[in-house]
Structure 1
Amino acid sequence: MAYTADTPQNPPAEELRARIPGWGADLDPKDRPAVPRERLDLDTGAHWDFPERQEEKWPRERSIEHKFLTPVFGTACPPRGLSGAMRKYAYRKYSEGRAAHWLMLIAADRVDAGESHLRSFATLHPDNPITETGVLSEFPRHGLSSRFSQKRADLSHQWIDPVIIAGPWLLAAGAAVAAVAAARTLRKRGGA
């Protein structure tokens, strides 16, 4: 039973050895360096058998491998928007042992970054890619010469960095220009 003070009850060793190839290879205490420290008869000092559960303010993501949510969990980043829906879907649909689960969570992080950029435009301090990427510090601190005169680990991908950083901003600006041009065209057709 998970998250309790009870000692877990495992199936008999013979059953496990028959079912799982290689099971029990570390049963001999002299092959296990942690054996002197594995004492279950010591008093842990815990005043509970099962920890008090943290209040769940919204439905939390929970792996399909677990019966219930851990007693304590993080609440700093509640899922929201499309990225939150993607995270919930990854936890609901895929096991943590599947690559699809983790790839979907990585994609949700990228979507969350985009959502954060869009949300920043509604504030008094929108994101500024020029100052936040440190590009301005390249000029007074010999950035260009340092890129070619030393062995740097990031030399192999330096050429694509401007594309990754500026690309989304240029695409957004292009989309805005195209939308304005389309609106002007529609207005001219409607007025003519």
Structure 2
Amino acid sequence: MAYTADKPTPPPTAEELRARIPGWGADLDPTDRPSVPKEQPQDLNAHWTFPEEQPVPDGGRERSIEHGRLTPVFGTAQPLHGVSGAIRRYAYSRFSEARAAHWLLLLAGDRVEAAGAHLRSLATSRPDNPITETGIVAERRWAPLAGRRGRADVRHQWIDPLLVAGPWILAAVGVIAVGRRLLRR
């Protein structure tokens, strides 16, 4: 069982491995290994056999299908909510962490959350400013071309402005289209 105070089952000893695998450890001298002191048994002084579990919030908590239970302590600062939360819950309930679909759904949930945050910022008195928040102004001031040389992402730097400005341009086009449609009525 996971999360117990007991030390896990010890690995096979060097003698057992030498008997089982011919030639194993021929060059291994314990006095030369820096990790030998760390491998000595420690007195954990744990006062429990299984840690006290944190109460699960009313809305539940996402848990990977590989694990039989939640960890004893987990974060509750940002509970899942809305469409992005539904996408993330689906990723956790349906797909293993070893599947690409799990991670792609989590990425989609993040993008949906980001789009929602941008839309909410438009409803405030101080909406997001994509020009200053992306660092374009600072990049222009502090040697933009010299700072880009030697970076690992040189091949796809041309697409960065499209990825940053594209959603804002699409949103502006959508607002204009809706505005025109409303004015025609």
Normalised by the length of structure 2, the TM-score is: 0.76
Task: Quote the residue 1:5 is aligned against.
Answer: 5
Structure 1 residue 37: Cα displacement: 4.6
Higher RCO (Cα < 8 Å, 6 or more apart) = 2
Structure 1 residue 138: Cα displacement: 3.4
Structure 1 residue 8: Cα displacement: 5.9
| Percentage of identical aligned residues | 54
- Asked if structure 2 preserves the Cα contact closer than 8 Å seen for 1:83 and 1:112, the reply is yes
Letter in 2 for 1:109: D
Structure 1 residue 125: Cα displacement: 2.6
4+ residue segments displaced more than 6 Å: 28-36
Change (3 A) 1:127 1:39: same
Question: Residue 62 in 1 paired to residue 60 in 2?
Answer: no
- Asked if structure 2 preserves the Cα contact closer than 8 Å seen for 1:29 and 1:35, the reply is no
| Deviation digits for residues 141-188 of structure 1 (CA, Å, limit 9, x no counterpart) | 342x4368x444343222111110110000001011111111122x2x
CA distance in 2, matches of 1:4, 1:156: 49
What are structure 2's unaligned runs of at least 5 residues?
Answer: 10-19
Task: Quote the residue 2:14 is aligned against.
Answer: none
Normalised by the length of structure 1, the TM-score is: 0.74
Task: Quote the residue 1:181 is aligned against.
Answer: 180
- After superposition, the CA RMSD in angstroms is 2.9
Question: Residue 111 in 1 paired to residue 147 in 2?
Answer: no
Task: Quote the residue 1:169 is aligned against.
Answer: 168
- Asked if structure 2 preserves the Cα contact closer than 8 Å seen for 1:147 and 1:155, the reply is no
Q: How many corresponding residue pairs? A: 168
SS in 2 for 1:104: helix
| Deviation digits for residues 23-51 of structure 1 (CA, Å, limit 9, x no counterpart) | x87xx7887977875555x4202111111
CA distance in 1, matches of 2:47, 2:64: 28
What are structure 1's unaligned runs of at least 5 residues?
Answer: 10-23, 188-192
